[in-house]
Amino acid sequence: MSTMSPYLTGLGTGLGLIVAIGAQNAWVLRQGLRREHVGVVVAVCVVGDVGLIAAGTVGIGVISSLPWVLRVLRWGGVVYLLAFALRSFRSALRPRALEGEGSAGPGRGAVALTTLGLTFLNPHVYLDTVVMLGGVVNQFGDSRWAAAAGAMTGSLLWFTSLGLGARTLSGPLARPRTWQVVDVLVGLVMVGVAIGLARGA
Protein backbone atom coordinates (compact mmCIF):
# COMPACT_ATOMS: atom_id res chain seq x y z
CA MET A 1 0.00 0.00 0.00
CA SER A 2 1.28 3.41 -0.89
CA THR A 3 2.01 5.66 2.09
CA MET A 4 0.22 8.52 0.34
CA SER A 5 -3.28 7.13 0.96
CA PRO A 6 -2.75 6.66 4.73
CA TYR A 7 -1.09 10.08 4.90
CA LEU A 8 -3.99 11.83 3.17
CA THR A 9 -6.53 9.95 5.27
CA GLY A 10 -4.74 11.01 8.43
CA LEU A 11 -4.49 14.58 7.16
CA GLY A 12 -8.20 14.82 6.37
CA THR A 13 -9.30 13.13 9.57
CA GLY A 14 -6.99 15.24 11.70
CA LEU A 15 -8.22 18.48 10.14
CA GLY A 16 -11.82 17.39 10.49
CA LEU A 17 -11.39 16.84 14.22
CA ILE A 18 -9.60 20.11 15.05
CA VAL A 19 -11.13 22.69 12.70
CA ALA A 20 -14.42 22.98 14.60
CA ILE A 21 -14.40 26.15 16.69
CA GLY A 22 -13.89 25.34 20.35
CA ALA A 23 -12.14 26.66 23.42
CA GLN A 24 -8.63 25.99 22.13
CA ASN A 25 -9.26 27.47 18.68
CA ALA A 26 -10.94 30.53 20.19
CA TRP A 27 -7.88 31.11 22.37
CA VAL A 28 -5.47 30.73 19.44
CA LEU A 29 -7.56 33.17 17.41
CA ARG A 30 -7.65 35.72 20.24
CA GLN A 31 -3.90 35.57 20.80
CA GLY A 32 -3.30 35.85 17.07
CA LEU A 33 -5.46 38.95 16.87
CA ARG A 34 -3.64 40.50 19.79
CA ARG A 35 -0.18 39.50 18.50
CA GLU A 36 0.68 38.17 21.94
CA HIS A 37 3.04 35.18 22.14
CA VAL A 38 1.50 33.62 19.02
CA GLY A 39 4.50 31.35 18.46
CA VAL A 40 4.24 29.95 21.99
CA VAL A 41 0.52 29.31 21.63
CA VAL A 42 0.88 27.59 18.26
CA ALA A 43 3.86 25.53 19.45
CA VAL A 44 2.07 24.30 22.57
CA CYS A 45 -1.03 23.34 20.56
CA VAL A 46 0.94 21.53 17.87
CA VAL A 47 3.28 19.71 20.26
CA GLY A 48 0.31 18.69 22.41
CA ASP A 49 -1.54 17.32 19.40
CA VAL A 50 1.54 15.49 18.11
CA GLY A 51 2.03 13.83 21.49
CA LEU A 52 -1.60 12.77 21.75
CA ILE A 53 -1.69 11.48 18.16
CA ALA A 54 1.48 9.49 18.83
CA ALA A 55 -0.09 8.06 21.99
CA GLY A 56 -3.13 6.97 20.02
CA THR A 57 -0.93 5.48 17.31
CA VAL A 58 0.97 3.24 19.71
CA GLY A 59 -2.36 2.04 21.08
CA ILE A 60 -2.65 3.64 24.50
CA GLY A 61 -6.21 2.89 25.66
CA VAL A 62 -6.10 4.40 29.13
CA ILE A 63 -8.86 6.90 28.47
CA SER A 64 -11.30 4.35 27.12
CA SER A 65 -10.51 1.75 29.79
CA LEU A 66 -10.74 4.11 32.80
CA PRO A 67 -14.04 6.01 32.67
CA TRP A 68 -13.28 7.82 35.93
CA VAL A 69 -10.42 9.62 34.17
CA LEU A 70 -12.93 11.15 31.75
CA ARG A 71 -15.18 12.21 34.62
CA VAL A 72 -12.32 13.96 36.41
CA LEU A 73 -11.25 15.67 33.20
CA ARG A 74 -14.82 16.65 32.38
CA TRP A 75 -15.58 18.42 35.64
CA GLY A 76 -12.12 19.91 35.92
CA GLY A 77 -12.59 21.23 32.41
CA VAL A 78 -16.01 22.68 33.23
CA VAL A 79 -14.62 24.65 36.17
CA TYR A 80 -11.59 25.81 34.20
CA LEU A 81 -13.61 26.93 31.17
CA LEU A 82 -16.16 28.81 33.24
CA ALA A 83 -13.38 30.62 35.09
CA PHE A 84 -11.77 31.46 31.76
CA ALA A 85 -15.10 32.74 30.41
CA LEU A 86 -15.53 34.97 33.45
CA ARG A 87 -12.06 36.40 32.90
CA SER A 88 -12.89 37.09 29.24
CA PHE A 89 -16.11 38.90 30.15
CA ARG A 90 -14.30 40.98 32.75
CA SER A 91 -11.62 41.83 30.21
CA ALA A 92 -14.32 43.03 27.80
CA LEU A 93 -15.36 45.60 30.41
CA ARG A 94 -11.83 47.06 30.70
CA PRO A 95 -10.84 48.93 27.52
CA ARG A 96 -7.23 49.36 28.70
CA ALA A 97 -6.78 45.59 28.57
CA LEU A 98 -8.11 45.52 25.04
CA GLU A 99 -5.59 47.71 23.28
CA GLY A 100 -3.76 45.85 20.57
CA GLU A 101 -0.09 45.03 20.31
CA GLY A 102 2.05 46.51 23.04
CA SER A 103 -0.58 46.36 25.79
CA ALA A 104 0.35 44.85 29.12
CA GLY A 105 -1.07 41.40 28.47
CA PRO A 106 -0.16 38.19 30.28
CA GLY A 107 3.44 37.05 30.10
CA ARG A 108 4.81 34.19 28.02
CA GLY A 109 4.62 31.71 30.90
CA ALA A 110 1.01 32.58 31.74
CA VAL A 111 0.01 32.29 28.08
CA ALA A 112 1.72 28.91 27.81
CA LEU A 113 -0.05 27.63 30.95
CA THR A 114 -3.41 28.84 29.68
CA THR A 115 -2.81 27.10 26.36
CA LEU A 116 -1.83 23.89 28.16
CA GLY A 117 -4.98 24.09 30.26
CA LEU A 118 -7.25 24.61 27.28
CA THR A 119 -5.51 21.74 25.48
CA PHE A 120 -5.36 19.06 28.17
CA LEU A 121 -8.34 19.86 30.44
CA ASN A 122 -10.78 19.03 27.68
CA PRO A 123 -11.70 15.31 27.68
CA HIS A 124 -12.83 15.57 24.06
CA VAL A 125 -9.21 16.03 22.99
CA TYR A 126 -8.39 12.57 24.33
CA LEU A 127 -11.43 10.99 22.73
CA ASP A 128 -10.67 12.70 19.40
CA THR A 129 -6.92 12.16 19.20
CA VAL A 130 -6.08 9.14 21.35
CA VAL A 131 -9.20 7.03 20.89
CA MET A 132 -10.90 8.05 17.63
CA LEU A 133 -7.89 9.17 15.58
CA GLY A 134 -5.80 6.37 17.09
CA GLY A 135 -8.38 3.89 15.87
CA VAL A 136 -8.36 5.39 12.37
CA VAL A 137 -4.59 5.37 11.93
CA ASN A 138 -4.20 1.85 13.35
CA GLN A 139 -6.44 0.51 10.61
CA PHE A 140 -3.48 0.99 8.28
CA GLY A 141 -1.31 -1.56 10.08
CA ASP A 142 2.33 -1.11 9.13
CA SER A 143 1.48 2.22 7.47
CA ARG A 144 -0.14 3.65 10.59
CA TRP A 145 2.72 6.09 11.18
CA ALA A 146 2.20 7.54 7.69
CA ALA A 147 -1.43 8.17 8.65
CA ALA A 148 -0.31 9.61 11.98
CA ALA A 149 2.13 11.89 10.15
CA GLY A 150 -0.77 13.16 8.03
CA ALA A 151 -2.81 13.96 11.14
CA MET A 152 0.18 15.71 12.72
CA THR A 153 0.65 17.74 9.54
CA GLY A 154 -3.01 18.76 9.72
CA SER A 155 -2.51 20.04 13.26
CA LEU A 156 0.58 22.01 12.25
CA LEU A 157 -1.15 23.56 9.23
CA TRP A 158 -4.31 24.47 11.12
CA PHE A 159 -2.84 26.07 14.21
CA THR A 160 -0.16 27.91 12.25
CA SER A 161 -2.75 29.25 9.80
CA LEU A 162 -5.16 30.22 12.59
CA GLY A 163 -2.55 31.98 14.71
CA LEU A 164 -0.61 33.73 11.96
CA GLY A 165 -3.68 34.35 9.80
CA ALA A 166 -5.33 36.21 12.66
CA ARG A 167 -2.07 38.02 13.29
CA THR A 168 -2.05 39.48 9.78
CA LEU A 169 -5.52 40.92 10.44
CA SER A 170 -4.62 42.42 13.81
CA GLY A 171 -3.58 45.75 12.27
CA PRO A 172 -6.92 46.73 10.72
CA LEU A 173 -8.76 45.10 13.63
CA ALA A 174 -6.77 46.85 16.36
CA ARG A 175 -9.66 48.80 17.87
CA PRO A 176 -10.89 48.63 21.49
CA ARG A 177 -14.41 47.79 20.33
CA THR A 178 -13.09 44.85 18.31
CA TRP A 179 -11.30 43.44 21.35
CA GLN A 180 -14.45 43.78 23.41
CA VAL A 181 -16.39 41.79 20.81
CA VAL A 182 -13.62 39.17 20.57
CA ASP A 183 -13.48 38.72 24.35
CA VAL A 184 -17.26 38.42 24.61
CA LEU A 185 -17.33 35.84 21.81
CA VAL A 186 -14.45 33.90 23.36
CA GLY A 187 -16.26 33.92 26.70
CA LEU A 188 -19.45 32.65 25.08
CA VAL A 189 -17.53 29.85 23.34
CA MET A 190 -15.99 28.83 26.67
CA VAL A 191 -19.41 28.78 28.35
CA GLY A 192 -20.85 26.74 25.49
CA VAL A 193 -18.05 24.19 25.66
CA ALA A 194 -18.39 24.00 29.45
CA ILE A 195 -22.14 23.33 29.16
CA GLY A 196 -21.44 20.63 26.60
CA LEU A 197 -18.93 18.99 28.94
CA ALA A 198 -21.30 19.18 31.90
CA ARG A 199 -23.99 17.45 29.86
CA GLY A 200 -21.52 14.77 28.88
CA ALA A 201 -21.64 15.72 25.19
pLDDT digits (tens, 9 = 90+) for 150-192: 999 999 999 999 888 887 776 655 566 766 777 788 788 778 8
pLDDT digits (tens, 9 = 90+) for 25-71: 888 988 888 888 999 999 999 999 999 999 888 876 555 566 776 67
* Neighbour tally for 120: CB within 10 Å: 18
Domain boundaries defined on the chain: 4-198
Task: Check whether 7 has a pLDDT greater than 80.
Answer: yes
Nearest in space to 95 (alpha carbons), one of 174, 38, 24 = 174
Task: Check whether 105 has a pLDDT greater than 70.
Answer: no
The rounded distance, in Å, linking the Cα atoms of 184 and 113 is 21
Q: Are 31 and 10 in contact (CB under 8 A)?
A: no
Q: Are 170 and 55 in contact (CB under 8 A)?
A: no
Tell me what the mean pLDDT of segment 101-124 comes to: 79
pLDDT digits (tens, 9 = 90+) for 118-139: 888 877 788 778 877 887 788 7
Residue 29: half-sphere exposure toward Cβ, Cα within 13 Å: 18
| Confidence (pLDDT) at 47 | 95
Predicted TM-score (pTM) of this structure: 0.71
